[in-house]
Structure 1
Amino acid sequence: MRVYTLTFRQNLPISMEKAWGFFSSPRNLATITPAMGFHITSELSDKDKMYPGILIGYKITPLMGIRMNWLTEITYIDPHKYFVDEQRAGPFAFWHHQHHFRTIGAGVEMTDILNYAVPFGPIGRIANALIVKKRILEIFRFRQMKINQIFGEC
């Protein structure tokens, strides 16, 4: 299994409390995800915050109208520093996504480190080169744009 790593950084002109408050709410994920049939299927209230062990289910349509279920678990949290989500069931052979937060000057630096693997061996590696990596990059570019619209830019 080939594991790929992508890193994304974004500076936000907001307090750590505001950043953590937004990103630690599973409900806000839909706000920063592009239109791809993304829908949270877990029973969550608007007041729900992440905690280690919470399972979050989604329906997604990432490519060619194919509808998929995806289940992630929040495995680690250090409030105001980082949290990690890992796929338990879904389209990837492996998904480990770290979200790091660090106070910088008058804002927050947010760093995402994504480690993922595509199933199906050599076919998956070709699919990653042709489709999957590009789609992930599109999703994170959209996310960065949407976050800048919500909070502004540093």
Structure 2
Amino acid sequence: MTASFVCRTESQLPVERLFDLARSIDLHVDSQQKSGERAIGGVTRGVIGEGQEVTWRAKHFGVPLTMTSRITHFDFPRSFTDEQVKGPFKAFRHVHEFEPTAAGSTMTDRVEFTAPLGVLGRAVERLFLTRYLERLISTRGSFLARHENPL
């Protein structure tokens, strides 16, 4: 992996609740309306679990992209990991970690990725892709942290 970032989100929600919200396909779609992201294969509604896959379709930078991710690690309510098994990145790994706090919980998103196209891809990572992805993950985290409705 050549690029990475970490986003932390504080929430008043209990850690178990935030963990489940982070696995919700429906809430992911709601949080990413700007890119028109939708689930088109695998688990397309409800919550995703260990070993399961979801295929996403979205438009980023005006380009339609499709990516299939699999939950490769699952430890309720502490962490889960999703990794690209097919898609636009050479590699993409997203670790979701959850910790209880006095005020509720903290969600930490650790993302590592490698863009395709070798040297050109590394330049794109540094110039704008890392910041773009960080903004997407941060927006999603804020959306989940303030979510109050049941799944």
TM-score, length-scaled by structure 2: 0.87
The letter of the residue matching 2:22 is F
The letter of the residue matching 1:75 is T
Among 92, 99, 104, the residue aligned to 2:101:
104
C-alpha contact (below 8 Å) 1:59/1:70 kept by paired residues:
yes
What corresponds to 1:60 in structure 2?
58
Aligned positions, number: 148
Question: Aligned pair in 2 of structure 1 residues 144, 53: CA closer, same or farther (>3 Å)?
Answer: closer
What corresponds to 1:33 in structure 2?
32
Deviation, 1:83, is: 0.3
Cα-Cα RMSD: 1.9
The letter of the residue matching 1:10 is T
Tell me, which stretches of 5 or more residues in structure 2 are unaligned? none
What corresponds to 1:15 in structure 2?
14
* Equivalent-residue separation in structure 2 for 1:24 and 1:145 (angstroms): 15
Deviations 1:79-103 (A, max 9, x none): 1100000001111111010000011
Question: Aligned pair in 2 of structure 1 residues 45, 30: CA closer, same or farther (>3 Å)?
Answer: closer
Farther off after superposition, 31-40 or 8-17 = 31-40
What corresponds to 2:71 in structure 1?
74
Deviation, 1:15, is: 1.1
Question: Aligned pair in 2 of structure 1 residues 16, 141: CA closer, same or farther (>3 Å)?
Answer: closer
Secondary structure in structure 2 of the residue aligned to 1:91: coil
* Equivalent-residue separation in structure 2 for 1:150 and 1:79 (angstroms): 19
What pairs with 1:78-97 in structure 2 (closer than 5 Å)?
A: 78-97=75-94
Deviation, 1:29, is: 1.2
What pairs with 1:112-123 in structure 2 (closer than 5 Å)?
A: 112-123=109-120
What corresponds to 2:125 in structure 1?
128
Tell me, which stretches of 5 or more residues in structure 1 are unaligned? none
Percent of aligned pairs sharing the same letter: 20
Farther off after superposition, 85-94 or 128-137 = 128-137
Deviation, 1:34, is: 4.7
Secondary structure in structure 2 of the residue aligned to 1:119: coil
Deviation, 1:131, is: 2.5
